[in-house]
Amino acid sequence: MPHPLLNAMFAHYPTILSNYFPIGSRFDSHDFIQKLTRDFQSDYIAILNHYIAKPAPFKLLHRQLSRHLHMHVSEIGHRDSKDIFGDDVSNTYWERR
């Protein structure tokens, strides 16, 4: 079962999707996470702190946030984009239907 703070982040997904990604839009996980973390900074910091003792806490948390997107949108592939550190990495590409 996910941590309660992680569930709090998941609860924001419908808001982020409706505010930034209209039906038919395509985006990658980095696009979504950037908007989620910008709009809900306090919640993000709280759950990130939960991962602080783990190696690569950002990567671990962002992986969890990305994996939950399948509950709301359709995966259509993968593409490279820059992560929060400016590194090009492959991540999931989504379409809102």
pLDDT string in tens for the chain (97-residue length): 788 999 999 999 999 999 999 999 999 999 999 999 999 999 999 999 999 999 999 999 999 999 999 999 999 999 999 999 999 999 999 999 9
Q: What are the angstrom distances between the C-alpha of 97 and each of 7, 22, 70, 75?
A: 23, 9, 12, 10
3-class SS of residue 97? coil
Q: Judge whether 36 and 48 are in contact, CB under 8 Å.
A: no
CA dihedral 57, 3, 70, 83 (to 10 degrees): -20
